[in-house]
Amino acid sequence: MRKQILQLGLALAMGVGCISQAFSQVKPEILVEQRPAGMVMMAKYMYSIVPMAMGRVPYDAATVTRNVGYLEVLSKMPWDGFTPATADVKNTKALPAIYADPAKFKAAQDNFQAELAKLIAATKGGNEAAIKTAIVDANTKGCNGCHNDFRAKQQ
């Protein structure tokens, strides 16, 4: 207890709240805050190219290449936040199925990564029609393949 107070005091004295993470594992509430941040960033770069793939806005190859490059990196970030310790944290769209069937959740992640890998490969290939197909697939099969079973429906 005394040690905890000392640690808390030091963290407060430093005026850097996140430093307190250093004293222990990252708190479940912080993980639950970080997870949707990663998803929002993936959405930012996915949903600005999906309309291009669907012909609803002009196709811009430079934007697609940039966004897919960002998505390649962003896609690695959210998963370490879905720990069992977060199962009881409120204020999340993550469904209990994530913790009840972790193998199925992992398979959905892997499926997303596989669809994204196809998109990355298509982007490097440079064929616009193939890229457009891969963008739509990455969204409908990749993103939604996970959201359908593991994320609460949008209100």
Residues within the interface to a second copy (CB under 8 A)? 16-19, 21-23, 26, 33-34, 36-38, 40-41, 43-44, 47-48, 50-51, 54, 56-57, 69-70, 73-74, 76-77, 154
CA distance 124 to 117: 11
Question: 7 or 101: whose CB is closer to a second copy?
Answer: 7
Instruction: Quickly count: other Cβ atoms within 10 Å of residue 31's Cβ.
Output: 19
Report the C-alpha gap between 93 and 76 in whole angstroms.
Answer: 19
Residue 101: φ, ψ to 5°: -135, 70
Min separation Cβ 47 and a second copy, Å:
4
Q: How far is the CB of 103 from a second copy (least distance, A)?
A: 25
Cβ-based nearer residue to a second copy, 6 or 107: 6
d(CA 139, CA 111): 11
Report helix, strand or coil for 100: helix
Report the residue number, 39 or 134, with the smaller CB distance to a second copy: 39
Least gap, CB of 85 to a second copy (angstroms)? 16
CB of 51 to a second copy, least distance (A): 3
One-letter amino acid at 52 equals: M
Other CB atoms within 10 Å distance of the CB of residue 69: 13
Write down the least CB distance from residue 70 to a second copy, Å.
6
Say how far apart CA 100 and CA 143 lie, in whole Å. 20
Q: Which is nearer to a second copy, 48 or 83 (CB)?
A: 48
Pick between residue 54 and residue 100 the one whose CB is nearest to a second copy. 54
